[in-house]
Structure 1
Amino acid sequence: MPAPHNPFKAALATKTPQIGLWVSSAEASIAELLTSTGFDWMVLDGEHAPNDLRSLRDQLMVVEPSPSHGVVRIPVGEAWMVKQVLDAGAQTVLIPMVDTADEARDMASAMRYPPEGIRGMGASGGRVSHFGAIADYVATANDQVCLVVQAESRKALENLDEILSVDGVDGVFIGPADLSADMGYPGNAGAPEVQEAIADALQRIHASDKAAGILVQDLGAAQRFLDLGATFIAVGIDTVMFAKAARKLSADAKALL
């Protein structure tokens, strides 16, 4: 039996648009609820959300059987972190703050078993191989893992063409918040200079053999970025959605008094 098919990787390869959601709640019960909402993919955030390896594993366990695809973002681009989340069941890994082609190449190597990469041989005892039930996992896993790197600095955009040339990178995700801060506009991703840089980057990625991704929090921006060539777009953050809905309900109820 081979490694499970990765539908997200396949969609990125054909540049079939995918609508996603950022999941920062770090709770398997919330992730399970969100699998019923129709999103194509969900980022299980290990960089800014209070996740650890066990909570990421638990979320992967409830997302895996659903129509949504779990994308795990690790805190930083370290090979040992890549190895652990892959063995915990992730097929797609999102790496923050990738500024150079060498960094992207290191992450592509970390995702793959030798001779293509340096991933350690520990799958037979883990849930990624269904505890050894997927007999051909190691022989077939390289074809199903998916690597997305985040370009979220001026340096990354300067090196974007070189990053796009790296074999083993499936997509490049623009991080508007960190990019805007690095460009001198912290908290203002809507600044014209930032938006111009994002538009240029998305078009360059789309013109390559990689897929372009981005996070937005309004559908007008989502449409604009789709038109610019983005393939995978996250259109919200779960904790922000819950907080806005709860505040509105509270305010509307108190208005009855």
Structure 2
Amino acid sequence: MFSNRLKKKLKAGRTAFGTFVVINSPDIIEIAGLSGFDFVIIDTEHGPLSVESTQHLIRAAELHDMTPIVRVSDAAPTTILRTLDVGAHGIQVPQINDRESAAAVINGAKYFPIGNRGIAMPRSARYGTIDPLTYFEKSNEETMVIVHCENRQGLANLEAIAAVPEVDVIFLGPFDMSQSLGIPGQVYHPLMDEVVEKVIQVTTDAGKVPGIFVTDGQQAQRRAAQGFKYIAIGMDTTLLAKIYKTEISKLSESV
């Protein structure tokens, strides 16, 4: 049974940095871990990853002491169950727009007496080599639940969502939120500044951790100064593309 280093770091009030991964390559995960990220978000919402491939990426993250979080494609109980059973240390769930949806996620992610997660002895339970009751208790303690706030409806219901016990992080999706506000892509627009202020205030008042996506390290530093503690910096595809384009741009036309 895993010990969730990320959860402990955030509970201590420290800031953690991670990145999204959509490429089905354990090598990418290992490089992220060796680079110093605290966590990786294995993205099955926007990426082509299957449950089987996700399991291998989780293993790679664990190998380098990097917490593997999986952004699931939806909040269906079966999706949550299979993701946690293959060993994810936490789930990140998009489009959580009301208290009922947040409570349903908890119900699917936690065992009795907190929730009603289906019982088996999969990889997350070390294939049945540990005491089941110990496993259920430790899983409830260590598994993280991150829910997205990424549109007007979720923002309007943020206080109720943040009040749901066992939700660890409220993650502001700035690009989706900007689209919902009618200013797509303008993540530093004054309207977004108001959203940022509200998310940080409501989340911290509820004893939760505010999280956000940024595209580079400079933005990460800016968001950390504002009060965000769970910060995801870019994704493998866009970061790799940026590096390639930068190096190509250094070539003179005469080459």
TM-score bin, normalised by smaller chain: over 0.9
User: What is the aligned partner in structure 1 of residue 57 from structure 2?
Assistant: 59
Counterpart CA distance in 2 for 1:249 and 1:193 is 36
Q: Are 1:216 and 2:198 an aligned pair?
A: no
Which secondary structure state, in structure 2, belongs to the residue aligned with residue 166 of structure 1? coil
Contact 1:111 1:119 in 2 (8 A): yes
- Report the residue type matching 1:129 in the other structure: A
Question: Residues 84-134 of structure 1: CA distance to partner in whole angstroms, max 9, x if unpaired?
Answer: 011000121100110001100100111111232110011x2x211221123
Larger displacement relative to structure 2 (215-224 or 226-235): 215-224
User: What is the aligned partner in structure 2 of residue 168 from structure 1?
Assistant: 166
User: What is the aligned partner in structure 2 of residue 11 from structure 1?
Assistant: 9
Question: Residues 32-84 of structure 1: CA distance to partner in whole angstroms, max 9, x if unpaired?
Answer: 22221100111110110111111111100111121211110001111111100
Counterpart CA distance in 2 for 1:45 and 1:256 is 41
TM-score (norm 2): 0.94
Counterpart CA distance in 2 for 1:161 and 1:17 is 23
Q: CA deviation at 1:256?
A: 5.0
Q: 2:113 aligns with which of 106, 112, 115?
A: 115
- Report the residue type matching 2:62 in the other structure: E
Q: 1:130 aligns with which of 123, 126, 132?
A: 126
User: What is the aligned partner in structure 1 of residue 241 from structure 2?
Assistant: 243
Q: Are 1:91 and 2:77 an aligned pair?
A: no
Q: Are 1:142 and 2:119 an aligned pair?
A: no
Q: CA deviation at 1:29?
A: 2.2
Q: CA deviation at 1:226?
A: 1.6
User: What is the aligned partner in structure 2 of residue 44 from structure 1?
Assistant: 42
- The number of aligned residues is 253
> 1:222–1:243: structure 2 CA closer, same or farther, 3 Å change rule?
same
| C-alpha RMSD over aligned residues | 1.5
Q: CA deviation at 1:11?
A: 2.0
* Alignment of structure 1 residues 175-190 onto 2, 5 Å: 175-190=173-188
TM-score (norm 1): 0.93
Contact 1:152 1:179 in 2 (8 A): yes
Contact 1:12 1:170 in 2 (8 A): no
Question: Residues 190-244 of structure 1: CA distance to partner in whole angstroms, max 9, x if unpaired?
Answer: 3221232123212321232100100111334323322222111112221111111
